[in-house]
Every structure is written in C-alpha cells, then in structure tokens.
Chains A and B, each alone.
Chain A
Amino acid sequence: MYNFNYKKPSSISEAKSIFSSCDDASYIAGGMTLIPTLKQRLAMPSDLIDLSSISELKSIKVEEECITVGAMCSHKQISESDKIRTALPALSNLASMIGDPQVRNRGTIGGSVANSDPSADYPAALLSLNAKIYTSERTIDVEDFFIGLFETALNEGEIVTKISFPICEKASYKKFPNPASGYAVVGAFLSMKNDIIRVAITGAGPKVFRIKQMEEKLSKSFSTDSIKDIVVSHDDLNSDLHASSEYRSHLINVMVNRAVLELT
C-alpha cells in the first residue's frame, strides 16, 4: 500500500470540505473493495476520508411506500433488519448472500453502489425496484446512475447518502455465485408491482441491465414458459476465467426461471 493521510469527519459537509482541500482524496466506506485495491497498489489516493463516523448515513427507515437505507448501513444490518425483512424480504435475502459473514459486517450498501462492480448484488435490486439514489448534491434515478464498468453518475467528491426502494408486491433475487468469492456470476432480481414486472440482471454485462422483452412477456403471462424462447445475446456480455459470455447468457435464463418459479 502506498501511504496516505487518514481523516475521519463527523458530518457530510466536513467530509466534502476535506475532499476539496486534498489533492486526490478518496472516500472509504466499509473498505471491502478499496483496501484490497490499495494493497494491490491499483489506487494511490493522497487522503482517505472515512465516512464511518457520520451518523446520518446509518439509518434504516421503512414507510408504507418505500424503504430508505442509509449509505453506511452494512449488509448485515440490511439482512437482519426485521422491518426490511417484513416489507421487502428479497432485499434481506440479497444482503444475506453477499460475500461471507465477516464481509457483511463491514461492507456497506453505499460503498457497493458507488463502486458499481459489474458482479455486485445490490445494483440488480436497485434497478428492478426503480430505486432512487440520494447524494450530498442531488437525487439520481437508478436508470441514470449506473454508467458502466465501475462507473456511475457520481461527480468528483459527491457522496451517496441514502437509497430508497419503492416497496413492491413480490420480489425474488436468484444468483449463481462464484463459489470462492460469492460475487454474482449472474444474478437476477425480479419484482412485481401493479402487474408490472421488472427483471434486472447483474454479473452478466459491464453493468446491470433490464430485459424488457422478458418483462413484457411475464407481465402478460407469468410463467417460465412465456420466456423460454428469449435469449440474451452473448455479444455484449462479460467473458472471463469464471464464465464465458455464452455461459452467462445461459445462466440468465436459469436465474430468471428460478425467480419466476419462486413467485409462482
């Protein structure tokens, strides 16, 4: 690890002002991705700004229409929150399948979302549920948030503060995890609200995406039969040592089918 300065502000405004006074600062949330990245010397921030003492980033609020989760909530808090489990069990299940217990104790939803790893789990929930991302500057619709591989709409110095998920009638998240890391080789989040189905896929492409063809078919007839002929072309899918793009294309159908069967 290259050396850096370490700062621990207690408010968002303090964090932002430290950021703007530094040469090349980086925020750190749980550090489950950033610390390994620093160890490999793939990043060389002049300063690390630790967001863990900012209490306003840690609340979970469940209202009639939506769940709002603070950016610094850990995967463990999200998976074990009784209020979330009652309102949106698919989100609790998703959080309980991330990494391993030690990682879930430290990793945060805000860190995961800001990192935009193509194999992260949360992006599928955000896109399927049509979430909103609140930042220190503005509110961003999920459709505008994920730009590409490790790339989001966040500007320099902008901090994700909370994420709100509209509550739906039914939802399911199914993933094919990498057996070592737990990352999604392919993950499918399917949600249903007022007869509108949204299918979001993570892990398969450079960023999370919807399959509108499947959504239309499932909205008309909610069965695995209605989507059996839909194939997502492997041309734009990821191919790496974990899985070829052809295999990922195949897994998309398998994971969506499992989600459909769970909700049938």
Chain B
Amino acid sequence: MQISLVVNNKLESVDVEPRTLLVDLLREKLGLTGTHVGCDTSQCGACTVHLNSEAIKSCTILAAQAADQKITTIEGVANQDGSLHPIQESFRNNHGLQCGFCTPGMIMTSLKIIEKYKEKKVNEEIIRHELEGNFCRCTGYQSIVDSISDYLENSSEKL
C-alpha cells in the first residue's frame, strides 16, 4: 500500500506492506538508522520517536497507522547547522550515555519531559517516572536523570 507521511519536516511517499512497522519503514526504507530496535517488544524504548509530537515506540505501531501524520526522529533533533540541541548538549556534559544504544530513544523521551515540565517544579522521582519506558543497561540511569534535571534547572534556552 502507498502511504504518505511527514518525517523530520519532509514529505515522504512510500510503498509498504500493511504489516510493516514504523521503525522498519524509518530504518530500512528511509535510511534513518538513528532510531534503534532494542527489544522489539515495546519495552525498551530505544525506538522512541515523536508521532504528532507525542513520544511513542515505533516498534509497536504499523507504518500504515502513522500515514498522513508527522514523525520526528533523532535525526530531526539537532539544529540545521549540525550543532546539538541543548538537551543533547546536556547529555554530553553530564555523561548521560555510555554505549549510546539507548540514547536516541532517551533523547526523544527527554524532549517531551523538558517540554512538559519546563515551567513546573520537577524532582528526581518525577523524571524517573517519566523515563519508565526507556531502558539503559550501562549508566544506571543516574547520569541520564542528571542530564535532564541539569537542563531543567540551568538552561535558559526556550524550546
């Protein structure tokens, strides 16, 4: 079946099988391999992307379900000139990644966290609750939590 969708602000028209998962469309048809497949069972969150500006797991949605909608992947996060988004900078500054496999998903989820809590009080418990859908097997999470709280406490950048 032929579907159209906007990926990172670019209109794409692609031919997919009804059973094609969104993550497979992104990685294999569009070459956007920044979105990772960790568990393929909707647990680990490495495949997190934004669908109409909500974080979702792209391994648990059919490409057909995303037709005519707007997708943002990790490739759409950095600035046009290649400089990092401030939340990416914050991950770098706080050692928020080690092997880096979960990082694209962590960043996509973090973007929603900083948007949701930018004018609210936030504590570590809230950040950890919001990160429940993303697994990291290296960091022990502390440095990821620090990356997000550092951004929320110190960044003057507005989204």
The finding on whether chains A and B are genuine partners in a shared complex, rather than unrelated, reads yes
A28 to chain B: which residues have CB within 8 Å? 65
Contact indicator A100/B45 (Cβ below 8 Å):
yes
CB interface residues, B 29-62, toward A, < 8 Å: 40-43, 45, 48, 51, 54-57, 60-62
Asked whether A6 and B1 contact (CB < 8 A) given A32-B42, A105-B55, A105-B56, the answer is: yes
Contact indicator B133/A102 (Cβ below 8 Å):
yes
B54 to chain A: which residues have CB within 8 Å? 76, 105
Q: Is A36 an interface residue (CB 8 A)?
A: yes
The residue from B17, B61, B132 contacting A182, defined by CB atoms under 8 A apart: B132
CA distance A12 to B62 in the complex (A): 21
Q: Is B147 an interface residue (CB 8 A)?
A: no
Asked whether A1 and B130 contact (CB < 8 A) given A31-B61, A36-B42, A102-B109, the answer is: no
Interface range for B: 20 to 34
**What is the distance, in angstroms, from A176's C-beta to the closest C-beta of chain B?**
16
**What is the distance, in angstroms, from A43's C-beta to the closest C-beta of chain B?**
12
CB interface residues, B 107-159, toward A, < 8 Å: 109, 112, 130, 132-134
CA distance A50 to B64 in the complex (A): 10
Contact indicator A101/B60 (Cβ below 8 Å):
no
Asked whether A101 and B61 contact (CB < 8 A) given A1-B19, A3-B19, A32-B42, the answer is: no
A106 to chain B: which residues have CB within 8 Å? 56-57, 60-61
Q: Which 8 A-B pairs have the closest CB atoms?
A: A100-B133, A6-B18, A100-B132, A102-B133, A1-B19, A105-B54, A6-B64, A102-B57
Binding site for B on A (CB under 8 A): 1-6, 8, 28, 31-32, 35-36, 38-39, 48, 50, 52, 76, 99-103, 105-106, 180-182
Binding site for A on B (CB under 8 A): 1, 17-19, 21, 40-43, 45, 48, 51, 54-57, 60-62, 64-65, 67, 109, 112, 130, 132-134
